[in-house]
Amino acid sequence: MITIHHYLTLSALLFFIGVFGVLYRRNLIVIFMSIELMLNGVNLSFITFARYTNTMDGHVIAFFIMGLAAAEAAIGLAILVMLFRNRRTVQADDFSLMRD
Amino acid sequence: MPAFTIDVVYQLMPLVVLLVGGLGFMLAGAMTRSAGPLQRGFALATLFVTLLYVFKLWGADAGPILHGMLIMDRFALFFLVVVIICALGTILISNGYLDRFGLNRGEFFSMVFFSTMGMGVLVSAYDLISVFLGIELMSLAIYVLVAFRRRDFFSNEAALKYFIMGAFAIAFYLFGVSLIYGLCGSTNFEAIAVAVSERNLAQQPVFLLAIGLIIGAMGFKVSSVPFHMWTPDVYQGAPTPITSFMATAVKAASFAAFLRLFYTCFMASKDQWVGIIIVLAILTMTIGNLVALVQRNLKRMLAYSSIAHAGYIMVGLVALSVDDTKAASAIMYYTLVYAFMTMGAFAVVSLLERRADERGLEGGDYAGLGLRRPFVGLCMAVFMFSLAGIPPTAGFFGKYYMFSAAVDQGYVTLAVIGVLNSAVSLYYYLRVVVSMYMQKSDEAAPTYDDYATRFVTLVALLAVLWLGIGPSGWVPGVETILDWTRASLAGVLELSSR
């Protein structure tokens, strides 16, 4: 029997895999993917709670998040292309011109 | 009741005007290569039309609209005015700056408009999801604006850092919202407030976790200390008009959402979260001021100073109380004052910044400025005094109301720490003034002259002085503004206690 706890555990797992991806991977494309993973973990949790509380809000919110994630990916990738044109690299460690 | 009546459209007009303006400039940007004086005039006119609608709506003080997604009450309108003033200042400062740096594109205004509209959604949000949409609309446009100097490595890097950190923070916010949705069955502010008091959620660990996640994300947006790492880099790398936009408008809008969220939804569990905010406020003030002491680059110094000011405003969040609107109205007054003095300081910075390298931003470049350019020097000196909180200026009264609200609520130690911090901040603000008037410049660093930017510094100068000591009359003085804040907060309180 799959209960709400299974879904919530899965969503938390997805979210924290994303968090670790952002914190520990150095390739910017992988970092973007990890952020998407975090958002999808959140989506799953919204859908689960929507089923659990018998309301439609969670379903709608999931669509909002998907739309915003797409917009965010568009701008993020545009920034990445711009960086690559100027610097020929997408490794996060190479972008450290500004320091205290 | 139909959700979308003509009355609702009327209430949404400020947002609609901004949206239409943004789309119009996007179209104009596709057709012309550079934005001429006509487009700039049009940008200012659109913002004035928005202001006009805001003033017309002030008397209505309406309730929630669109099934409780937005609310155009006086609280929202007050912050909308602050945000629009910041947008006006940004467009005026950018007038000469865009030409000097070869950034003169119509998309610039388009993005400023979209971002301002996002702030409009954020300040009028009455649902956790409209807060999310507002933050995203505001931030997505700002990411583009930060990256506007496409060939500049600093600008690129700033955009990248802001984007990754911003997306990361918003994911945490959404995770917190999903937990609240699971507990309350709704994301509406009113429904959450009812659920919290009826089902006694205040003690639940999951609810507190959700509040913690939301504080983290909001703390990122207002650059409070453990989440402030992006601020100096982004403020330094972004084009200066955009830095001033971020330091003033983004901060004001985020604090508006922060304030309304905690005032309406989470007041019942104040005892649980107030500890976190106290720690954050102390850290933000102290670290912001201490690190600002050692900065050479003026934009970086102002970035740390803006972190420190976020800390002062958080003292007001600590002192929030259902019985007394003093702290909340101090926060509103402070964001207005802070917007004027920071906008003015960045306007002066933009006059000295030069192309190609990061010249014109080091402390030494200000040597003798007060003698070479008396008016600009005088303005900068007043802004620095105001940021430091020296008496006849508005910055002093902002801090005074904030700390006295904290003392009234019994947070004496916190207020003392705040005052000590202001004393520390005197050192680095006055260093700029000393450099401007006491040091001789060995090489005459060129400064640009630009009437629009000078106009911004003049208006900011008058506002900083008038908001401090000006009597209320034809031009609203301190008392009038405080009355307005009280009038706006009455509506928020009434909704939260229902």
The amino acid at residue B432 is: V
So what CATH class is A27-92? mainly alpha
For the ranges A10-14, A71-75, B234-238, B443-447, the lowest mean pLDDT is seen at: B443-447
Q: Which residues of A touch B185 (CB under 8 A)?
A: 53, 55
Q: What is the predicted ipTM?
A: 0.95
Interchain proximity B164–A35, CB inside 8 Å: yes
Confidence of residue B245 (pLDDT cuts 50, 70, 90): very high
Rg (CA), chain A: 17
For the ranges A23-27, B62-66, B343-347, the lowest mean pLDDT is seen at: B62-66
Domain boundaries, given as residue ranges, for chain B:
6-496
- Which residue in A19, A61, A46, A75 sits closest to B114, CA to CA? A75
Confidence of residue B479 (pLDDT cuts 50, 70, 90): confident
When CB atoms are compared, the residue of B133, B151, B154 closest to A97 is B154
Residue pair B340/B464 in contact (Cβ under 8 Å)? The answer is: yes
On average, the pLDDT of chain A sits at 91
Confidence of residue B496 (pLDDT cuts 50, 70, 90): low
On average, the pLDDT of chain B sits at 88
Residue B356 has pLDDT above 70, yes or no: no
Distance CA B484, CA B490 (A): 10
Interchain proximity B156–A83, CB inside 8 Å: yes
Which one has a higher pLDDT value, B438 or A67? A67
* Nearest C-alpha in B relative to A46: B178
Distance from CA of B431 to the nearest CA of A (A): 19
Distance CA B481, CA B366 (A): 34
Across B46-59, average pLDDT: 91
Interchain proximity A79–B154, CB inside 8 Å: no
Query: What pLDDT score does A87 carry?
Result: 87
- Which residue in B235, B197, B277, B281 sits closest to B498, CA to CA? B197
Which residues sit opposite B64 in a β-bridge? B71
Distance spanning both ends of chain A, measured CA to CA: 55
- Which residue in B172, B170, B148, B173 sits closest to B159, CA to CA? B148
Query: What pLDDT score does B351 carry?
Result: 86
Across B397-404, average pLDDT: 92
Interchain proximity A100–B153, CB inside 8 Å: no
Residue B478 has pLDDT above 60, yes or no: yes
**What three-state secondary structure class fits B33?**
coil
Residue pair B254/B277 in contact (Cβ under 8 Å)? The answer is: no
* H or E, element range at B344: helix B326-352
Chain B residues with CB within 8 Å of chain A CB: 129, 132-133, 136, 140, 143-144, 147, 150-151, 153-154, 156-161, 163-164, 167-168, 171, 174-175, 177-179, 181-182, 185-187, 232-233, 236-237, 291, 294-295, 300
| pTM, two decimal places | 0.93
Distances (CA, A) of B298 to B175, B367, B457: 37, 13, 17
Interchain proximity A97–B157, CB inside 8 Å: yes
CB-based contact, A15 to chain B, within 8 Å: yes
Across B306-313, average pLDDT: 94
Distance from CA of A74 to the nearest CA of B (A): 10
